[in-house]
Structures are given as C-alpha cells and as structure tokens.
A and B are shown apart, each in its own frame.
Chain A
Amino acid sequence: MPDKALIMLRRRSIDLRWAVIFSIIFFLFFDGVTARCDSTEKVSTLNELITLFDSSSCKECHEKIYEQWEKSHHARPLMGLDDEIFMTKYLKNGVLAVKPGVKGTKKNFPCFKCHLPQFKYATDEVAAEIADAILRDDKASVRQLTISCMVCHNEKAVVHGRPAKNVVYGNRDLPEDTGHVVKKSPLLKNSLMCGQCHGLGPNLEFETPIQCATLYGSYLHAYIPSGGTQTCQECHMKDGNHYMPPNFNNREELSERLRQSLPMEVQTLTYIFEPKEGDSRPMVVVKTKITSKAGHRIPDG
C-alpha cells in the first residue's frame, strides 16, 4: 500500500479511537450528571429529613401562599383531629405497633406513603427517631414534618419519569435568574396531582397493607362517569389558594362547607292512614332528600 494511503489509514484509526474515547467519557459524564440529578442519598437523622425538604425560604417571595399553606392540613399531616399525633395509637397497638424493646423501622410507617412522601428518602434510623418522638408525644418534633412546598412542587410534581433535583415545578418555565430553576409541570393542575395521595383504596405493596383514603377513587369512578368535569384544584384550590379546605380543625367553617356541598330538602305530610275500615293510623310522613355537589363521596375514609 502506498505510504500516503497508510498514513491516511493510520490517521483515520487514531481519529476513530479518540472519537470512541471521547464518546465514552461524554457518556460517563452525562450519565453521571443524570444519575446525580435523579437519585438522592438517603438521610439518616430526623433533622436531615426535615432539612431535606425544608421550604421555609419560599415564604420570602411567596408569603401569601405560604401563609395559606400554614393553615392547611398539609402543614400538619401527622397531627390529626384536635392536634393529636394520629400515629400514636397505631404504634402502640395493632399490626403496626412498635414492639417493646425494639426500635421502629420504616415498616411501621406505611402511612407515610401519603402522610409524609419524603419519608422515602429516610433510613430505618430516621424511622426509629420518629417512632420515638411519637411515642413520647413530642409534638414539637413531629410538627416539623410537613408536606412542604417542595414535596408537591418537586417530589410529586412529575409522574412521567422523575423530578429533577433542585428544580421547582410550577405552571410555567421561568428563567434561572428568578432565584431558582422553575420548570413547568402540567400535572400541577391535574386531579392526579392530588390523587397520588388522596387515595384509590388498598395499598397492597406493603408488608402490612393499609387502606385510608379512597377519595380519588370515588372521583374517578363515581364523579367522572356521572358527568363531572371539575378538577380537585378547581374546588379545593380556587385561584391557587393553598389553604385547600376542608379544615377539620375549624368546625364552623367545615360545617358551612358541608352545608353548601350537601343541600337538603325536607317535606312533611300529616294524614290519617286507614288501610281497612276502622283501622285509623294518624301519622306524619317525613321525606328527606340530600343532594351532593361534591366531586367525590361524602364522607370518605
């Protein structure tokens, strides 16, 4: 083979080799970035879990929304009616109970699938701390575990794939100079956003299966087939209000909301029923009719 052809061939081989090397390096680098964006290391202390999804800085620019959220049940997902820690009785008795002398583990908390979604990033050490806090009735610690801004606006904001790390998902894409990366997620205005936690029925993926809320199931299989057209957000987050009623701790407000959602008609008729001669039965007939304007069964749970 002529020398020139040999040189060309050798050069082409070297070029090809470098191309392959660069491709491998690029792939490893790119894949590494994706992996870092996609995975979050688990935390091993309660304080780390609280910090991981701490959204208190959102208040600086979104004060009104933050204050609405603070009054909502999302700000106190582990505090049940009348400010009691709802998990206490389940950790003391029953199939989820923490046995004496044994530390709590993640298996004691299937409820956190919905009541504390960020718990997926916790280790058993964190579970043990939370169990201990609950059993000691340490409300100050338990109250710090919230469904904070970044739970909905990151962790739960993407169902096709995974949310990117350090991205706030909202209703539009915004430039990075706003202080944080904001990307649009159309899920935020879709009922499925709420449905991720507000229940389809049995949760069979756990060693101890649980069933709590079935509200989204009712929405999907009763409201929609009957012709319903509104989303959860249209009724429970009007104009983007993050108060998200109902608020079970505001009794008058809840009663009024139920009054509006369940109008009731009453009719009465008094007469004397006489099925046969001489058998007179004076009576009053009361007819009631309750109509629902809600997008799901009432009550649920």
Chain B
Amino acid sequence: MPQATDSRSNQMMLGPDKKLGLIRDTSIQPFAPKEETIEIPFPTGVTNAVIKVELTYQPRPGNIYPIHKVVRNVSLDQTK
C-alpha cells in the first residue's frame, strides 16, 4: 500500500486530512511482479504439511475482499 506521512515527520499517517506525500510504497505496481520467498521449518517429527497461501485486499481493518487462495499438500517423503 502507499504509505504517507504528513511531510512534517516520518510518522505514517492515516486519512486524507493528514496525508501529504509518500514515504514508502509497497503496492503492486504495473509491470513489476512482486515475488516473495518464505522458508517454513518443519517442527520436529513432522514430515507433512498443508500450505495455504491467501491473497486478500483489506481497505479497512476487518473489511476483507478475498482474491486468491491456493492450497498445497507438501511432504518431505518424495514418494508421496
């Protein structure tokens, strides 16, 4: 998301009556794919896991628009 201050400090501001300018922008940009790599260690003794990846849009806290949901069953046992 675009993150704005009021241009008087480095404190991020919320609301159009406070924001002026941008300090950081983590939004998904045109023609600029966003890639992330996440390493999740298996707990001791666990060899199987269900990975759920969800992408949502949340314009307000708690106001969630689901976009993508991907579920993968993964296992350390390559025979599975």
Taking Cβ atoms with an 8 Å cutoff, the residues of A that contact B are 81, 90, 94-96, 111, 201-202, 204, 208-212, 214, 218, 222-223, 226-228, 248, 251, 254-255, 258-259, 262, 264, 266, 268, 270-272, 281-292, 294-301
Contacts and interface: CB of A to CB of B under 8 A. Distances in A.
B27 to A, nearest CB: 4
13 contacts: A95-B17, A210-B19, A211-B4, A218-B30, A222-B30, A258-B67, A282-B41, A284-B49, A286-B38, A287-B37, A290-B35, A290-B55, A300-B27
Contacts of A301: 1-2, 59
A270 B76 contact: yes
Contacts of A208: 17
B29 interface: yes
Interface string B44-68: 0011010101010101100101111
Interface residues of B, number: 48
B38 A90 contact: no
A284 B55 CA distance: 19
B42 A283 contact: yes
A284 B76 CA distance: 8
B51 A288 contact: no
Closest 5 CB pairs of A and B: A297-B27, A226-B31, A212-B16, A223-B30, A282-B42
Interface of B: 1-2, 4, 7, 15-22, 25, 27-42, 46-47, 49, 51, 53, 55, 57, 59-60, 63, 65-68, 70, 72, 74-76
Contacts of A268: 51, 72, 74
Contacts of B36: 287-288
B28 A292 contact: yes
A284 B42 contact: yes
Contacts of A286: 37-40, 51, 53
A251 B58 CA distance: 12
A260 to B, nearest CB: 10
B72 A262 contact: no
A116 B22 CA distance: 25
Contacts, number: 155
B53 A288 contact: yes
A282 B47 CA distance: 8
Given A255-B65, A268-B51, A287-B36, A297 B76 contact: no
Contacts of A281: 41
B59 A270 contact: no
Contacts of A223: 30-31
Contacts of A299: 1-2, 27, 57, 59
Given A227-B31, A262-B68, 12 more contacts: A96-B17, A218-B27, A226-B31, A258-B67, A266-B70, A268-B72, A270-B49, A284-B39, A286-B51, A292-B32, A292-B33, A298-B28
A216 to B, nearest CB: 13
A298 B34 contact: no
Contacts of A272: 76
A195 to B, nearest CB: 15
A248 to B, nearest CB: 7
The residue among B30, B42, B55 with the most chain A CB atoms within 10 A of its own CB is B30
A291 B59 contact: no
Contact of B21 (A90, A211, A218, A228): A211
A56 B30 CA distance: 38
A242 B65 CA distance: 23
Contacts of B40: 283-286
